[in-house]
A and B are shown apart, each in its own frame.
Chain A
Amino acid sequence: KQEVTQIPAALSVPEGENLVLNCSFTDSAIYNLQWFRQDPGKGLTSLLLIQSSQREQTSGRLNASLDKSSGRSTLYIAASQPGDSATYLCAYSGAGSYQLTFGKGTKLSVIP
Protein backbone atom coordinates (compact mmCIF):
# COMPACT_ATOMS: atom_id res chain seq x y z
CA LYS A 1 0.00 0.00 0.00
CA GLN A 2 1.41 3.33 -1.04
CA GLU A 3 1.49 5.81 1.82
CA VAL A 4 2.59 9.35 2.53
CA THR A 5 3.45 10.40 6.07
CA GLN A 6 3.83 13.98 7.14
CA ILE A 7 5.51 14.89 10.38
CA PRO A 8 4.69 16.78 12.50
CA ALA A 9 0.92 16.85 12.23
CA ALA A 10 0.90 20.35 13.71
CA LEU A 11 3.55 22.97 14.29
CA SER A 12 3.48 26.35 16.01
CA VAL A 13 6.39 28.76 15.59
CA PRO A 14 7.05 32.43 16.31
CA GLU A 15 7.16 34.82 13.41
CA GLY A 16 10.54 35.07 11.68
CA GLU A 17 11.63 31.54 12.43
CA ASN A 18 12.91 29.20 9.71
CA LEU A 19 11.17 25.84 9.66
CA VAL A 20 11.18 22.47 7.95
CA LEU A 21 8.19 20.28 7.14
CA ASN A 22 8.80 16.61 6.45
CA CYS A 23 7.18 14.18 4.07
CA SER A 24 8.04 10.50 3.63
CA PHE A 25 6.64 8.08 1.09
CA THR A 26 6.84 4.36 0.49
CA ASP A 27 6.81 4.27 -3.32
CA SER A 28 10.36 4.36 -4.71
CA ALA A 29 9.09 4.69 -8.29
CA ILE A 30 8.00 8.26 -7.78
CA TYR A 31 7.44 10.42 -10.84
CA ASN A 32 6.98 13.79 -9.23
CA LEU A 33 6.16 15.33 -5.91
CA GLN A 34 4.04 18.38 -5.19
CA TRP A 35 3.71 20.54 -2.13
CA PHE A 36 0.39 22.28 -1.62
CA ARG A 37 -1.01 24.79 0.77
CA GLN A 38 -4.59 24.51 2.00
CA ASP A 39 -6.28 27.32 3.89
CA PRO A 40 -9.28 26.52 6.11
CA GLY A 41 -12.37 25.91 4.01
CA LYS A 42 -10.45 26.60 0.83
CA GLY A 43 -8.97 24.65 -2.04
CA LEU A 44 -5.39 23.61 -2.64
CA THR A 45 -2.74 25.97 -3.93
CA SER A 46 0.23 24.33 -5.60
CA LEU A 47 3.48 25.64 -4.14
CA LEU A 48 6.24 23.58 -5.73
CA LEU A 49 6.53 20.65 -8.13
CA ILE A 50 9.68 18.52 -8.11
CA GLN A 51 10.16 16.12 -10.97
CA SER A 52 11.86 12.79 -10.32
CA SER A 53 15.02 13.93 -12.10
CA GLN A 54 15.32 16.97 -9.85
CA ARG A 55 16.54 17.24 -6.28
CA GLU A 56 15.04 20.55 -5.29
CA GLN A 57 12.92 23.50 -6.32
CA THR A 58 12.79 27.02 -4.95
CA SER A 59 10.15 29.70 -5.01
CA GLY A 60 10.69 32.82 -2.96
CA ARG A 61 11.03 31.85 0.69
CA LEU A 62 10.16 28.23 -0.06
CA ASN A 63 12.57 25.45 -0.91
CA ALA A 64 11.56 21.84 -1.43
CA SER A 65 13.94 18.93 -1.73
CA LEU A 66 13.44 15.38 -2.91
CA ASP A 67 15.50 12.32 -1.98
CA LYS A 68 14.02 9.34 -3.79
CA SER A 69 16.49 6.86 -2.34
CA SER A 70 15.37 7.56 1.21
CA GLY A 71 11.75 8.25 0.28
CA ARG A 72 11.76 11.74 1.73
CA SER A 73 10.93 15.30 0.82
CA THR A 74 11.27 18.42 2.91
CA LEU A 75 9.71 21.84 2.57
CA TYR A 76 11.83 24.62 4.02
CA ILE A 77 10.16 27.94 4.81
CA ALA A 78 12.47 30.84 5.55
CA ALA A 79 11.58 33.80 7.75
CA SER A 80 8.07 32.59 8.48
CA GLN A 81 5.18 35.07 8.51
CA PRO A 82 1.68 34.90 10.05
CA GLY A 83 0.33 34.68 6.50
CA ASP A 84 2.11 31.34 6.12
CA SER A 85 -0.33 29.81 8.61
CA ALA A 86 -2.12 27.01 6.76
CA THR A 87 -2.06 23.26 6.28
CA TYR A 88 0.75 22.05 4.03
CA LEU A 89 0.15 18.91 2.01
CA CYS A 90 2.64 16.70 0.27
CA ALA A 91 1.55 14.49 -2.63
CA TYR A 92 3.28 12.36 -5.22
CA SER A 93 2.46 10.57 -8.44
CA GLY A 94 4.04 7.24 -9.26
CA ALA A 95 5.74 6.43 -12.53
CA GLY A 96 3.22 6.21 -15.33
CA SER A 97 0.43 7.31 -13.03
CA TYR A 98 -1.70 10.41 -12.81
CA GLN A 99 -3.12 9.76 -9.38
CA LEU A 100 -1.78 11.93 -6.62
CA THR A 101 -1.31 10.19 -3.28
CA PHE A 102 -1.60 12.66 -0.43
CA GLY A 103 -0.38 12.87 3.12
CA LYS A 104 -2.68 14.18 5.84
CA GLY A 105 -0.75 17.41 6.07
CA THR A 106 1.06 19.54 8.61
CA LYS A 107 -0.97 22.34 10.17
CA LEU A 108 1.33 25.33 10.60
CA SER A 109 0.61 28.27 12.88
CA VAL A 110 2.96 31.25 12.79
CA ILE A 111 2.51 33.39 15.87
CA PRO A 112 2.99 37.16 15.44
Chain B
Amino acid sequence: NAGVMQNPRHLVRRRGQEARLRCSPMKGHSHVYWYRQLPEEGLKFMVYLQKENIIDESGMPKERFSAEFPKEGPSILRIQQVVRGDSAAYFCASSPTWEGLYEQYFGPGTRLTVT
Protein backbone atom coordinates (compact mmCIF):
# COMPACT_ATOMS: atom_id res chain seq x y z
CA ASN B 1 0.00 0.00 0.00
CA ALA B 2 1.74 3.10 -1.23
CA GLY B 3 1.91 6.00 1.15
CA VAL B 4 0.82 9.55 0.49
CA MET B 5 2.43 10.77 -2.71
CA GLN B 6 3.27 14.34 -3.55
CA ASN B 7 4.75 15.82 -6.67
CA PRO B 8 6.82 17.54 -7.60
CA ARG B 9 9.20 17.15 -4.68
CA HIS B 10 10.93 20.40 -5.54
CA LEU B 11 9.49 23.30 -7.48
CA VAL B 12 11.14 26.55 -8.47
CA ARG B 13 9.03 29.44 -9.69
CA ARG B 14 9.77 33.05 -10.51
CA ARG B 15 7.73 35.75 -8.84
CA GLY B 16 4.38 36.12 -10.56
CA GLN B 17 4.20 32.57 -11.89
CA GLU B 18 1.73 29.90 -10.83
CA ALA B 19 2.59 26.88 -8.70
CA ARG B 20 0.59 23.64 -8.75
CA LEU B 21 1.23 21.06 -6.08
CA ARG B 22 -0.29 17.60 -6.28
CA CYS B 23 -1.18 15.09 -3.60
CA SER B 24 -2.43 11.53 -3.95
CA PRO B 25 -3.76 10.18 -0.64
CA MET B 26 -3.19 6.69 0.64
CA LYS B 27 -5.43 4.04 -0.85
CA GLY B 28 -8.75 4.00 0.96
CA HIS B 29 -8.34 7.51 2.36
CA SER B 30 -10.86 10.10 1.29
CA HIS B 31 -9.79 12.97 3.55
CA VAL B 32 -6.92 15.24 2.58
CA TYR B 33 -5.23 18.01 4.55
CA TRP B 34 -2.65 20.53 3.42
CA TYR B 35 -0.10 22.07 5.77
CA ARG B 36 2.63 24.63 5.17
CA GLN B 37 5.99 24.79 6.89
CA LEU B 38 7.69 28.15 6.61
CA PRO B 39 11.43 28.36 7.36
CA GLU B 40 12.06 28.12 11.11
CA GLU B 41 8.34 27.73 11.76
CA GLY B 42 6.11 24.84 12.72
CA LEU B 43 3.65 23.28 10.32
CA LYS B 44 0.44 25.26 9.94
CA PHE B 45 -2.90 23.88 8.79
CA MET B 46 -4.15 25.31 5.52
CA VAL B 47 -7.15 23.38 4.21
CA TYR B 48 -9.16 20.19 4.64
CA LEU B 49 -10.90 18.54 1.71
CA GLN B 50 -12.99 15.53 0.94
CA LYS B 51 -13.76 14.36 -2.57
CA GLU B 52 -15.29 17.30 -4.47
CA ASN B 53 -15.72 19.32 -1.27
CA ILE B 54 -13.72 21.89 0.62
CA ILE B 55 -14.62 21.34 4.24
CA ASP B 56 -12.42 23.92 5.96
CA GLU B 57 -10.10 26.45 4.34
CA SER B 58 -9.68 28.63 7.39
CA GLY B 59 -5.89 28.36 7.22
CA MET B 60 -5.59 29.41 3.59
CA PRO B 61 -4.44 32.91 2.70
CA LYS B 62 -7.41 34.83 1.38
CA GLU B 63 -5.89 35.59 -1.97
CA ARG B 64 -3.94 33.66 -4.60
CA PHE B 65 -4.35 30.25 -2.90
CA SER B 66 -6.92 27.63 -3.85
CA ALA B 67 -7.32 23.89 -3.39
CA GLU B 68 -9.40 21.14 -4.92
CA PHE B 69 -9.89 17.42 -4.60
CA PRO B 70 -11.77 16.22 -7.68
CA LYS B 71 -13.75 13.03 -7.96
CA GLU B 72 -10.95 11.55 -10.01
CA GLY B 73 -7.28 12.35 -9.62
CA PRO B 74 -5.10 13.95 -6.99
CA SER B 75 -5.76 16.90 -4.74
CA ILE B 76 -4.20 20.08 -6.05
CA LEU B 77 -2.99 23.12 -4.15
CA ARG B 78 -2.68 26.07 -6.51
CA ILE B 79 -0.80 29.26 -5.80
CA GLN B 80 -1.23 32.07 -8.29
CA GLN B 81 1.22 34.93 -8.78
CA VAL B 82 3.72 33.52 -6.31
CA VAL B 83 5.78 35.83 -4.12
CA ARG B 84 9.01 35.14 -2.22
CA GLY B 85 7.06 34.72 1.01
CA ASP B 86 5.37 31.65 -0.47
CA SER B 87 8.70 29.78 -0.36
CA ALA B 88 8.07 26.92 2.03
CA ALA B 89 7.56 23.20 2.31
CA TYR B 90 3.98 22.16 1.59
CA PHE B 91 2.84 18.89 3.10
CA CYS B 92 -0.21 16.86 2.33
CA ALA B 93 -1.72 14.36 4.76
CA SER B 94 -4.57 11.89 4.45
CA SER B 95 -6.77 9.88 6.77
CA PRO B 96 -9.64 7.43 6.37
CA THR B 97 -12.04 9.69 8.28
CA TRP B 98 -11.94 13.12 9.84
CA GLU B 99 -12.01 11.86 13.39
CA GLY B 100 -8.93 12.45 15.45
CA LEU B 101 -9.07 8.79 16.34
CA TYR B 102 -7.20 8.10 13.17
CA GLU B 103 -3.67 9.14 12.42
CA GLN B 104 -2.93 11.54 9.65
CA TYR B 105 -0.33 10.14 7.30
CA PHE B 106 1.97 12.65 5.68
CA GLY B 107 3.57 12.78 2.28
CA PRO B 108 7.20 13.75 1.62
CA GLY B 109 6.28 17.34 0.89
CA THR B 110 6.86 19.75 -1.98
CA ARG B 111 9.54 22.34 -1.44
CA LEU B 112 8.63 25.52 -3.26
CA THR B 113 11.29 28.09 -3.94
CA VAL B 114 10.28 31.44 -5.39
CA THR B 115 13.08 33.38 -7.02
Contact = CB atoms under 8 A, between A and B. Distances in A.
A63 interface: no
B104 interface: yes
B104 to A, nearest CB: 6
A83 interface: no
A102 B43 contact: yes
A53 to B, nearest CB: 10
Contacts of A93: 100
A44 B106 contact: yes
A51 B101 contact: yes
A34 to B, nearest CB: 6
Contacts of B44: 102
Interface residues of B, number: 29
B42 A103 contact: yes
Contact of B108 (A43, A95, A98, A100): A43
Contacts of B56: 98-99
Contacts of B42: 4, 89, 102-105
Interface residues of A, number: 26
Contact of B109 (A36, A43, A89, A104): A43
B38 to A, nearest CB: 11
Contacts of A46: 103-106
Contact of A36 (B33, B40, B101, B106): B106
A98 B33 contact: yes
B111 interface: yes
Contacts of A91: 43
A97 B100 contact: yes
The 3 closest A-B pairs by CB, nearest first: A31-B100, A43-B108, A93-B100
24 contacts: A31-B101, A42-B108, A42-B109, A43-B91, A43-B107, A43-B109, A44-B43, A44-B91, A46-B104, A89-B42, A89-B43, A93-B100, A95-B100, A97-B100, A98-B31, A98-B33, A98-B98, A98-B99, A99-B48, A99-B56, A100-B45, A102-B44, A103-B42, A105-B42
Interface of A: 4, 31-32, 34, 36, 41-46, 49, 51, 89, 91, 93, 95, 97-105
